[in-house]
Amino acid sequence: MLSRRGKAAALAAVFVIISGFLLIVERYAPVDSNLLTINILDVGQGDAILLEAPRGQTILIDGGPDKKVLRRLGEELPFWERRIDLVVMSHPHEDHIFGLAAVMERYEIGVIMLTGVEAHSPTYDRLLALIKEKNIPLYTADHAEEISFDDLKLKILYPLKSFSGQRIANLNNSSIVIKASYKDIDLLLTEDAEEPEEKELLASGIDLEAEILKAGHHGSETSSSEAFLKAVKPRVALISDGTGNSYGHPSPRTLKRLERLGIAFRRTDLEGTIRMQTDGYAIYE
């Protein structure tokens, strides 16, 4: 039988455990269910974007160049969350898709979206085999359309036609482009789209205006052309790039272009994961 002092110590230990659990719950509990959370995950020289919809749905666009994406997801999602409603494979380049195999092993995936463009690499082949093995529903993006997550609307702006089974000389220009709209706030996700894809989007007449732009191809010189930026008119451009990367991303010319047009920018190599929220009217950084 415990002494009075022993009982007090045991109760204190239980209190500490409960308090710690409540702090964890408070950390991950939605402060306001009316908020859309945008996370440009710090995965080094690559891309992985996590959207947390106001009603709790989760959307992951790309998975970065390694398994670091799991750590980043763990930092943003509660430890009990084991489902991602939609995974988008923007295009089959290693720095965008390598980490998705680990994501598929750890999380239950609702749907996977891809273009079906012809590409062969050990990573891409493994992902396709995993999708089949786990019987994950597959959706091929092959035309402009809209997907609804309650109040959050995902508008697929590109591709404008089917790439399924086709060879594309530059896979960057097969990137899925998504406009995420929540009430009055729009987020344009261009992944690695370069100027030729930007020109196609401009010529299509699609409404590209967005308050937030995820700058194309890690802020490279081949993306975020002046004509494209003038059509989007973003308040801020978000750049996913790795510290000291060998590609020189983001390009000084792209940064000067953003500055000249009065567009603020944020970079994962300087601040780590970039987190933003919106209630559909204001943006909280």
Residues 97 and 19 both lie in one domain: no
46 in the same domain as 173 = yes
171 and 255 in a single domain? The answer is: yes
* 205 and 100 belong to one structural domain: yes
Sign of CA pseudo-dihedral 273, 110, 211, 173: positive
In this structure, are 21 and 40 located in the same domain? no
| 20 and 41 assigned to the same domain | no
Q: Decide if 173 contacts 196 (C-beta within 8 A).
A: yes
pLDDT (tens place) for every residue of the chain, 285 residues total: 545 555 444 444 444 444 443 344 344 444 447 999 999 999 999 999 999 999 999 999 999 999 999 999 999 999 999 999 999 999 999 999 999 999 999 999 999 999 999 998 999 999 999 999 999 999 999 988 899 999 999 999 999 999 999 999 999 999 999 999 999 999 999 999 999 999 999 999 999 999 999 999 999 999 999 999 999 999 999 999 999 999 999 999 999 999 999 999 999 999 999 999 999 999 998
d(CA 149, CA 125): 30
pTM for the model stands at 0.88
Residues 110 and 51 in one domain: yes
What own/partner pairs with CB < 8 Å and gap ≥ 24 does 246-249 have? 247/45, 247/218, 247/220, 249/45, 249/217, 249/218, 249/219, 249/220
- Looking at the structure, do residues 250 and 234 belong to the same domain, yes or no? yes
Domain that holds residue 6: 1-30
Q: Do 212 and 234 lie in a common domain? A: yes
Based on the domain organization, do 22 and 44 belong to the same domain? no
CATH number at residue 169: 3.60.15.10
Amino acid at position 167, single letter: R
Under a CB-based contact definition with an 8 Å cutoff, are residues 57 and 254 in contact? no
SS3 39: strand
Q: Tokens for 93?
A: 């380049």
**Measured in Å, how far apart are the chain's first and last C-alpha atoms?**
54
Whether residue 111 is found in the same domain as residue 44: yes
Q: What is the 3-state secondary structure (H, E, C) of 115-180?
A: CCCCCCCHHHHHHHHHHHHCCCCEEECCCCEEEEECCEEEEEEECCCCCCCCCCCCHHHHCCEEEE
Per the CB < 8 A criterion, the answer to whether 18 and 183 are in contact is no
> Is residue 126 domain-shared with residue 174, that is, in the same domain?
yes
Q: Which helix (H) or strand (E) holds 17?
A: helix 4-28
When divided into structural domains, the chain yields a total of 2
